[in-house]
Structures are given as structure tokens and as C-alpha cells.
Amino acid sequence: MPYRLTVLGTGYLGATHAACMAELGFEVLGLDVDQAKIDRLRRGDLPIHEPGLEELLRRNLESGRLRFTTSFEEAANFGDVHFVCVGTPQKKGEYGADVSYLDAVIESLAPHLDRQCLVVGKSTVPVGTAERLAEKLVRLAPAGAQVELAWNPEFLREGFAVRDTLHPDRIVLGVASDRAEKVLRDVYAPLGEEIPIVVTDYPTAELVKSAANAFLATKISFINAMAEVCEAAHADVKQLSLALSFDERIGGKYLNPGLGFGGGCLPKDIRAFMARAGELGAYQALTFLSEVDAINMRRRARMVDLARELVGGSFEGRTVGVLGAAFKPNSDDIRDSPALDVSVTIAQHGGKVTVYDPVALGNARAAHPDLGYADSARGAARDADVVLLLTEWQEFVEIDPEELGLVVAARNIVDGRNALDADAWREAGWHYRALGRP
């Protein structure tokens, strides 16, 4: 392999990118400022739950292609291409994205860059960030203009991170020179020639990512808005969604009605996008996204209302069993998790809430020590006046309603993800309710 790569920031994105690039045959050095995280990664102990990633990490540690460090000087000496994969969380108390981790990486790395290399941003950023960082990089690097920036947004989904990285739908390269384009084409060549590559400028590359997330969030809120209308009209949004999905122009993906979107990306990214559009004088173009956000948050409130209805109008003295804590299945990520948001609200209104999740329990406990927890679905449902399915893990979809019915106080269930077989639950004597369905 002609280039040695570094990956700066080893969260979801960085850990996945580092292991996948090593898997493709590159020598990779991963860097993080969190010594504890680096110690775990060096041991092959992945700090997150991501299917298939730990095997990849271990295999490439053993082969020697993948190593980890906390030293920017070592990273600068090692790498020909530096991928920047740090987070851009929502700012406290406002919509905009906090890009300070990106600035910190550039400020720590650049002073050690004394030869030709490429720095590649992968984080989701407000449009205009790359231009600003490119200038900063050249100013701070001893090698000056020999050090170049490129923007290469990442579209991976948690739970499918390895697959999405090794088999992306497309690659977007925001570059300022032919050289940068060539280097990145070389780096991604092992992924296969058939993957579409869009080569563009910085702002377009940055915007592709914001636009993609805005579209996905809009699609989810669209079907959830239809769910609201279905509720008012006694119609069934699940069948509506199915019928829409056969229209090839619409398609069935991201059209699952339910509790809506959460996680570390979609909610904060649409807010950051609105904030940035406002700064650019284009706020009106994105006002629809505030409606997308509002529809999404209303699903959580509706879930709480449905549960309250089923337990007789008040949560006081009522026991609520919650299935799911992660923001989606196959992940232990609880950032902006609709499931935990609903759980906390019900507990605040006097409900005795017990939560179970196959992998996110540890994270949920640490973030919300006041909620009750159980080690199984049965444990969470024990003596419950109502059971809520809030994250559609396969394990919950496969629950035998008859068996779960033996431990609850009352056979009430709200299917917050439209994931269960309504007929089977009703046949087992459950009062089955779902968002958007009669």
C-alpha cells in the first residue's frame, strides 16, 4: 500500500474507519486524546457495541497493521493521509454544532507536519468549516502548502458501520487539487471500482452530508405525520406505509412509522443545519426542518399519552415495563434515545419504570440511575400495568405474548415501533396499541 494512514478520533466513526482501512491492507495508526479508550483499543476491547467491528479490530491488531497512540507527533510522523473523525455535538442550549474538537485536532497535529501530506475531514460539519480549517492547517504546518485539506463525509449507520464503510453507496470527495483527488481515489480503490465517486468542492461535500441526513429525517417525520392523521381518521399507517413503499419513486426505506428518530446524528444534524442556514441568510429554505423536528418530538409525547391512557389516566402508582433503551436496535448508543426520553417522562409523572435492553443497559444505568432496570424482558415486564416496546430489537419481536402475559399485572402493550405481530398479541389476550394504528 502506497500510503500510511492515521485516524484521529476513535469514537464510532474513527474506530470503524481505522479497523476497516487496516482490513483493506493499509498500515493504520489510530489516535485519541482519551488514554483509557486507547488502552482498551490496544487490547482489542472495543468500547462500543458494533456488530463485526471487534473481530476486525482484533484481527488487524494481531496482523500489526493497526496500532493506537495518544501522540500527535507520532501520528504526524507516521501518516501520509490523516483522517479526522472527531465528533461535532450540538452546542449546549443552542442549535449550532460545536466544532471545537476539529479545531483542537488541527491545532495539535499541524505544528508537527513537516512534509507533504493530506488531512481529510470526515466529520459532519456546518458548511464553511473546511475552508476555514484548510487555511488554519496551512498557516500552522511547517510544511505550509504541501499540507492540504480534503473533505470526505462519512455516511455510515450505527449497527451497520462495518458494512457501510466497506460497501458504501457512494464516496464524496471535496477537494482543492488534483493531487488530493488522486490520493483519495488511491486510498479507496480497494473498495472496488463500481462505487460511485462524486468529486466536488469543500462546501458541496459538506452539504451533501447535511442534506442526506435532512432528507432521511424528513422521510421519517413524513410517515410519522401520516401516522398522526391516521390516528385522527382511524386509519392504519403501517398499511399506508406498505402501500407507499411499492411506489419506486418513494421506496420503503426510512418509512417505518413509530417513535421517530434519535441518536447522535439525525436530531443534532438537522438542528445544526438550520442554524447554519440562518447564519448564511438562507434560514427560510430550511424552516420545514423545524417542523420535521417537531413532528419527531410529538411522537414521544404521543407514546406517553397512549401509555397513560392504557393505565387508566395517571401513572401514579402504576408499573411500566419498557423494552429497549438504545436509540435503535443493534447499538448500545443511548444519545437522544426516544426510548429513554419516554421512560424518563413517565417516571417524572409518577410511573414506576423498569427498563430492559440487550446491550445498552450499562449506558442507560449510568445516564439515568433513577430509572429501574431488569436483566430480561420478563424482568422488565414483571407486574407491569403496561409494557412499552420502544426499541425494536429482534429479541423483542420474537417474544411469545402468551409467555410474557404470565408475568404482567395487566396485558397492555404499546408497540412504539410497529414491530410486533398485532394479531398474535391480541389473540393472546393483550390490549395491543400502536402509534398510528386503530
Residue list for the binding site: 32, 37, 88, 124, 155-158, 209, 254-258, 262, 268, 328, 335
Running DSSP on this structure, what letter comes out for residue 89?
P
CA dihedral 407, 408, 411, 414 (to 10 degrees): -110
Nearer to ligand UDX, 79 or 87 (CB): 87
Smallest gap from Cβ 365 to ligand UDX, in A, equals 20
Count the neighbouring beta carbons within 10 Å of the beta carbon of residue 344. 17
Nearest distance in Å: CB 284, ligand UDX: 25
Select 61 or 272, whichever has its Cβ closest to ligand UDX: 272
Q: Is 212 exposed, middle or buried (0-12, 13-18, 19+ CB in 10 A)?
A: middle
Answer for the pair 163, 191: CB distance below 8 angstroms, yes or no.
no
Cell digits of residue 289: 426542518
Catalytic option among 20, 85, 230, 265: 265
User: Which bin fits 396, alpha (ψ -120 to 50), beta or left (φ > 0)?
Assistant: alpha
Q: Which residues are annotated as a binding site for substrate?
A: 155-158, 209, 254-258, 262, 328
DSSP state of 80: S
Residue 199 to residues 141, 152, 274: CA-CA distances in angstroms?
26, 10, 25
Taking alpha carbons only, the member of 134, 151, 137 closest to residue 107 is 137
Task: Please calculate the CA angle 353-93-11 and round it to the nearest 5 degrees.
Answer: 70
Question: CA 330, 336, 338, 342 torsion: positive or negative?
Answer: positive
CB of 174 to ligand UDX, least distance (A): 16
Q: What is the torsional sign of CA 190, 180, 151, 22?
A: positive
Q: φ and ψ at 120, to 5 degrees?
A: -120, 115
Rounded Cα distance between 86 and 11, Å, is 7
* C-alpha 48, offset from chain centre: 12
Note if 117 is an active site residue: no
Binding site for ligand UDX (CB under 6 A): 155-158, 213, 216, 220, 254-256, 258, 260-263, 265-266, 327-328
- Binding-site residue numbers for NAD(+) are 32, 37, 88, 124, 158, 268, 335
CB of 77 to ligand UDX, least distance (A): 31
**66-69 and 27-31 strand pairing:** parallel
Minimum separation from the CB atom of position 337 to ligand UDX (A): 8
Minimum distance, C-beta of residue 436 to ligand UDX, in the bound complex (Å): 12
For residues 129 and 319, which CB has a smaller minimum distance to ligand UDX in the complex? 129
How many other CB atoms are found less than 10 A from the CB of residue 11? 18
Catalytic residues: 265
